[in-house]
A and B are shown apart, each in its own frame.
Chain A
Amino acid sequence: MSKNQRSHERELDAWLSRTLQSHGEYIEDEGFTDGVMVRLPGHATRPWRWRLGVLFLALLSGLLAMAVVPVQPLVAALASVSVAVPVMPLLQVGGALLASVLLAAGYWIWKEA
């Protein structure tokens, strides 16, 4: 192959490459990626399994607690204590704890979503 031919071939390659690349259409996503993410293995089922598991365990713990702990004497004892002890600091601590739990749960849900 002569020098001239090689030069023409290089030129053709460069032109073909340039022209094909410049004419390559971009396809807008339009929900394609969401469709893929929904179909990923485990993506749709894992969070629900998790949530159902947590709910089931919470329910079980609650039922066990009700069965084991003597509820009526405990309520009566708490009522007598709440009269004697100032309630506000306890409520504040409880509120702070509840807020932290809610914040952590919110962050976890946001991360999973």
Chain B
Amino acid sequence: MSDAGLIARVMTQQDPHAFRQLVLRHQSSVRRWARRLCDGDNAAADDLAQEVFIKVYRALPTYRGEARFSTWLYRIAFNLAASQKRLARQRWQAVDLEQASEEVEQVTNSMAAGDWADASRDLNSAMETLSQPQQWALRLNLEEDLTQEEVAEVMGIPLGTVKTHIRRGKQALQLLLSDWREVTP
């Protein structure tokens, strides 16, 4: 049954089994994000993830189905993390706009298509070197398949800032992976 079907059953029949199915289906991704938002503290992350689902249960009557259910879950997780963990949302918006995009053009031009395969194992390490907002924006966009508009909604920051985070994150990744490629025999 789809997420929408399960939500309908929770709302119309107060069916706890349907809500249980929703939690089972999304627990892994929500907990993974909670761990990122709690800097790897698994116990705090699980508490946060539980709070997310409890808040979802309470707010289900207000869910209109305009956004994907997963997007809604992530948005609640980010909001809770921002309030509970006192994450400075202003910091997510701070971007260094001075560096020109010529940098990326040079790097992009220097990379050939087949070079990416060797660098795959290093991608996660490369991601670690990015700023948190860049990592989150890139992961939401490319790992979770959210559009840039959805990323902006989840992180609660302007679309332009998200685009900058994503562009600059990719630039940094290209640079890092390109350097490692040159070192690798």
CB within 8 Å of B: which residues of A? 1, 4-5, 8-9, 11-13, 15-17, 19-21, 23-29, 32-33, 35-37, 39-41, 43
Provide the B24-43 mask, 1 if CB < 8 A to any CB of A, else 0: 10011001100000000000
Nearest B-chain residue to A8, judged by Cβ: B108
Question: When the two chains form their complex, are residues B20 and A17 in contact, meaning their CB atoms are under 8 A apart?
Answer: no
* A32 contacts across to B, CB distance below 8 A: 23, 27, 31, 46, 49-50
Interface pairs (14), CB distance under 8 Å: A1-B105, A8-B108, A8-B109, A8-B113, A13-B142, A16-B142, A17-B142, A28-B28, A29-B27, A29-B28, A33-B20, A36-B23, A36-B53, A41-B57
Q: Quick one: which of B23, B138, B170 contacts A37, CB cutoff 8 A?
A: B23
> Which one, B62-70, B84-92, B116-124, is touching chain A?
B116-124
State in angstroms the CA–CA spacing of A11 and B27 once bound together. Answer: 31
Nearest B-chain residue to A16, judged by Cβ: B142
Could you tell me the distance in whole angstroms from the C-beta of B175 to the nearest C-beta in chain A? Answer: 12
Question: When the two chains form their complex, are residues B24 and A16 in contact, meaning their CB atoms are under 8 A apart?
Answer: no
Question: When the two chains form their complex, are residues A27 and B32 in contact, meaning their CB atoms are under 8 A apart?
Answer: yes
11 more contacts with CB within 8 A, not counting A12-B108, A23-B123, A33-B23, are A5-B105, A5-B109, A8-B108, A12-B116, A16-B170, A21-B142, A36-B27, A36-B50, A40-B19, A40-B54, A41-B57
In this complex, the member of A1, A24, A36 whose beta carbon has the largest number of chain B beta carbons within 10 angstroms is A36
Number of chain B residues whose Cβ lies closer than 8 Å to a Cβ of chain A: 33
Provide the B72-101 mask, 1 if CB < 8 A to any CB of A, else 0: 000000000000000000000000000000
State in angstroms the CA–CA spacing of A11 and B138 once bound together. Answer: 15
Nearest A-chain residue to B35, judged by Cβ: A27
State in angstroms the CA–CA spacing of A5 and B58 once bound together. Answer: 47
Question: Given the interface contacts A8-B111, A11-B116, A41-B58, does A20 sit within 8 Å of B105 by beta carbon?
Answer: no
State in angstroms the CA–CA spacing of A90 and B19 once bound together. Answer: 46
State in angstroms the CA–CA spacing of A13 and B170 once bound together. Answer: 9
Nearest B-chain residue to A29, judged by Cβ: B27
State in angstroms the CA–CA spacing of A32 and B52 once bound together. Answer: 12
Question: Given the interface contacts A9-B108, A27-B32, A41-B58, does A33 sit within 8 Å of B113 by beta carbon?
Answer: no
